[in-house]
């Protein structure tokens, strides 16, 4: 297999770190974080591709502060839509390919059955809109047979800032205080480990796959289900002394600035087949992530 030169953005983020740790031997990786490349600067994004001329740009960086995006729409749009377009325009000139990591938030969550890759998007908030715009603008700016969109959901890993590590901390604090932990139970999706997501990304790059694809771990869960499993498995692995009692609440009991999809399962069968990657249930993936959590993080 020939060597591919890959420019990875967001290399310091939770997905970026997983990608760096699992890079295949035949990949020549150029990893840049926020300090090396400001994704809000479209000119810098374009010029970086023109200077480095990678075979692929794996755009793993993003503006992901869902609630904060409601008050910073320009910044969210610049990072999540402007950067992918800039990369795509440059790659259209150099002949390279783009892997744009996207999100389940491009859907409104109202249909109640898993979303297919080809369905029309209908985001509800600024974050989802900015990511949908990024998909659209990237695909319009370069040949579609060289552009790959990978939507995923509820991403978490052993490092960084994510729901899993937050819940580990809250389980410890609430258990020590003898208090319950309240978690939303009426939003349904699927947690996705950065470890399995990174494997999917590298498989897409190695196979030169284009088009729109979905990837998450297998099964479904509410945030409540996920929180309970994090406590149970975290205690079993010795990351916390004991789990807190988790109580289910409604979305209306925990208002947030941004509206979340009530149902955002992604249909991933075609992608798993194309990549020859078997499904891994989210609870098995959670076990793998918890096993990789540094003691200082837990």
CA separation for the pair 117, 84 (Å, rounded): 19
Whether 251 is covered by a domain: the verdict is no
Average confidence score pLDDT of the chain:
96
> pLDDT at position 297, please?
52
> pLDDT at position 1, please?
60
Length of the chain: 298
Whether 68 is covered by a domain: the verdict is yes
CATH code for the domain of 133 = 3.40.50.720
CA separation for the pair 158, 136 (Å, rounded): 31
Whether 237 is covered by a domain: the verdict is no
User: Could you tell me which residues are beta bridge partners of residue 97?
Assistant: 56
Whether 254 is covered by a domain: the verdict is no
Local structure of 108: helix, strand or coil: coil
Whether 257 is covered by a domain: the verdict is no
Extract the tokens encoding 274: 């194309």
Residues belonging to the active site: 127
CB 83 within 8 A of CB 275: no
> pLDDT at position 2, please?
80
Convert the pLDDT of each residue in 104-162 to its tens digit: 999 999 998 999 999 999 998 999 999 999 999 999 999 999 999 999 999 999 999 99
Whether 179 is covered by a domain: the verdict is no
Strands 188-189 and 221-222: antiparallel
CA separation for the pair 52, 91 (Å, rounded): 11
Query: ∠190-286-168 over CA atoms, to 5°?
Result: 100
Number of domains in the chain: 1
Whether 60 is covered by a domain: the verdict is yes
Question: Domain range holding 121?
Answer: 4-155+193-217+265-279
Instruction: Please count the other Cβ atoms lying within 10 Å of the Cβ belonging to residue 71.
Output: 11
Sign of the dihedral defined by the CA atoms of residues 109, 281, 214, 30, in that order: positive
Residues of the chain below pLDDT 50: 298
Whether 84 is covered by a domain: the verdict is yes
- Is the whole-model pTM more than 0.85? yes
Tell me how far CA of residue 169 lies from CA of 69, 165, 230, 237, in angstroms: 25, 6, 10, 14
Extract the tokens encoding 135: 């998909």
**In which region does residue 211 sit, left (phi positive, over 0), alpha (psi from -120 to 50) or beta (all else)?**
left
Q: What whole-number percentage of the chain has pLDDT above 90?
A: 96
CB 97 within 8 A of CB 113: no
């Amino acid at each position: 297999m020939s060597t591919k030169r890959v420019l990875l953005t967001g290399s310091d983020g939770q997905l970026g770190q997983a990608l760096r740790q699992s890079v295949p031997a035949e990949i020549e990786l150029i990893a840049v974080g926020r300090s090396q490349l400001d994704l809000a600067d479209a000119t810098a994004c374009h010029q970086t591709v023109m200077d480095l001329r990678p075979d692929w740009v794996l755009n793993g960086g993003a503006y992901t502060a869902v609630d904060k995006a409601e008050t910073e729409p320009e910044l969210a749009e610049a990072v999540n839509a402007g950067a992918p377009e800039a990369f795509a325009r440059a790659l259209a000139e150099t002949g390279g390919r783009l892997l744009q990591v996207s999100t389940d938030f491009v859907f409104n969550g109202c249909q109640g059955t898993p979303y297919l890759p080809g369905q029309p998007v209908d985001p509800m908030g600024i974050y989802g809109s900015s990511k949908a715009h990024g998909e659209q603008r990237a695909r319009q700016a370069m040949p579609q047979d060289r552009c790959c969109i990978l939507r995923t959901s509820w991403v978490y890993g052993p490092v960084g800032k994510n729901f899993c590590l937050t819940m580990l901390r809250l389980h410890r604090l609430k258990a020590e205080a003898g208090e319950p932990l309240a978690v939303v139970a009426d939003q349904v999706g699927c947690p996705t480990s950065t470890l399995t997501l990174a494997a999917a990304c590298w498989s897409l790059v190695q196979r030169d796959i284009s088009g729109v694809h979905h990837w998450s771990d297998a099964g479904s869960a509410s945030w409540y289900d996920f929180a309970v499993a994090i406590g149970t498995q975290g205690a079993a692995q010795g990351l916390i002394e004991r789990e807190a009692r988790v109580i289910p609440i409604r979305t209306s009991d925990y208002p947030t600035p941004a509206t979340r999809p009530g149902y955002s399962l992604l249909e991933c069968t075609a992608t798993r087949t194309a990549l020859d990657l078997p499904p891994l249930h989210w609870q098995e993936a959670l076990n793998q992530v918890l096993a990789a959590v540094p003691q200082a993080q837990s």
